[in-house]
Structure 1
Amino acid sequence: MKHRTYTCGLDAAIDVMGGKWKPLVLWELHGATLRFGELRRAVPGISERVLINQLRELEASGLVHRELHHEVPPKVEYSLTDFGRSLLAALLPLGEWGERHKSRIEAIPR
């Protein structure tokens, strides 16, 4: 398995949580353990397939913990690991910045 070399810390951080959906999933897991359906409802616009893939990648990178409860029907819960909480701490100021400037950002023509 080949390991990637990063040019800077931002490069590494974006690689582990890059894309549109991963930060939103991490955001929803702060302070809560959620089941798959709860996460899907909490992240509007994400498809089931994309959420499954994003959760697998977040789990593989050590940011999210997946807990399988052996019962009928099967119950799976997702929560942040310590590593995930440390990344969330870095995302909080970005989220606050977005809140402060949301109306200006929404006004940008697409």
Structure 2
Amino acid sequence: MPERNIPALRAAIAAHAPDLLADFEANWRAKIADTYDIGAAPAFLARWWGEYALARDPELDRHVRDLEERAAQTADPDKAKALLEEAAQIHGRVSLLGPGE
């Protein structure tokens, strides 16, 4: 993982997960650049830190997306809850990764 700041994260996305870059840039404009809301920067960084952490591990990323898709498609609320909890645990773990990990 890069240094935990927006410019370093953007550079890492551009270099190692370029398929995320357009969404990163669009979200940056919508949440911060166009609104001048620098208070939104910590939430922006947290979201994209996790997105990049998952993108670095395509198998884990596919697993999380599969859990979320299966949760959206099931009619069983208990099953959906279990699937989303598993996905949330993975999101939580990757959000704790530090620079250099």
- Could you state the TM-score of these two structures normalised by the residue count of structure 1? 0.26
- Could you state the TM-score of these two structures normalised by the residue count of structure 2? 0.27
When you count strand as a share of all residues, which structure comes out higher? 1
> Over alpha carbons, which structure has the higher Rg?
1
When you count helix as a share of all residues, which structure comes out higher? 2
State the structure with bigger RCO (CA 8 A, min sep 6), 1 or 2: 2
